[in-house]
Amino acid sequence: MQKIFLAVVVQHENDHLDGILFVEKISPMAKRLIAKKLANIKKETKRIKEENE
């Protein structure tokens, strides 16, 4: 189990280096199910970026 978890973590970090986000890998159905939450995260991220400019 620990090896599997480590593999997932390493792949996740490698994806970051390649500019790939987790939300780009999930299915369209899953995206629809979490669309509101993703919209809120995007809004908050934009607000934080604007504060730090």
The verdict on residue 44 lying in a domain is yes
The verdict on residue 9 lying in a domain is no
Global confidence as pTM: 0.48
Please identify which of the residues 13, 50, 51, 53 carries the catalytic annotation. Answer: 13
Condensed to tens digits (0 to 9), the pLDDT of residues 1-53 reads 788 999 999 999 999 999 998 878 889 999 888 888 889 999 999 999 999 98
The verdict on residue 1 lying in a domain is no
Q: Do residues 38 and 23 make contact, with C-beta atoms less than 8 angstroms apart? A: yes
Q: What is the DSSP string of 1-51?
A: -HHHHHHHHHHHHHHHHTT--GGGTS-HHHHHHTHHHHHHHHHHHHHHHHH
Q: Which domain holds residue 52?
A: 23-53
Whether 50 is catalytic is no
Q: Report how many domains make up the chain.
A: 1
